[in-house]
Amino acid sequence: MCSILLVCAGGFSTSMLLQKMQKAADEQGVRVQIEACGTGDVSYFKHYNILLLAPQTAHLEEALKEQYHMPILLIDGLDYGSLAGAAVLKKALEKYSE
C-alpha cells in the first residue's frame, strides 16, 4: 500500500482534494493511505512513501528532495484548482512507481 502525504500552506483546499483522491482510489480498487498536513509539520514527512506539494508550496520542492530523499511531486495547478482527485492520484502513483 502506498502512503501519500499532501503538503500545503493552509489546508482547506488540500483536504477537499484528499477526499476526491480517496474517492477515486476507492472506485478504482487502489489501496492507498492519503493524509494532509501543513508545511510546518515536517516531522510527519518521513513516514510516507511520497509527498505531494500544493502549488503554493513549490518553493520548498528542491529543499525537501535534498532533505528527505523520497519521491516528491508538485501538484499541477489546474489539477489542484479543479480538485481533480483521479488525475492527481494517477500522477502520484506513477511518480511513486518510478
Residue recorded with cell 483522491: 21
Distances (CA, A) of 94 to 2, 40, 97, 98: 11, 27, 5, 7
pLDDT category at 81 given cuts 50, 70, 90 is: very high
Q: How confident is the model at residue 38, as a pLDDT?
A: 87
Q: How confident is the model at residue 46, as a pLDDT?
A: 81
Residue 8 catalytic?
Answer: yes
Number of Cβ within 10 Å of residue 41's Cβ equals 11
**Residue of 8, 21, 24, 25 with catalytic role:** 8
CATH number for the domain running over 2-97: 3.40.50.2300
pLDDT, one tens digit per residue, over 8-66 is 987 677 899 999 999 999 999 999 999 998 888 767 788 899 999 999 999 999 999 99
Per-domain residue ranges for the chain? 2-97
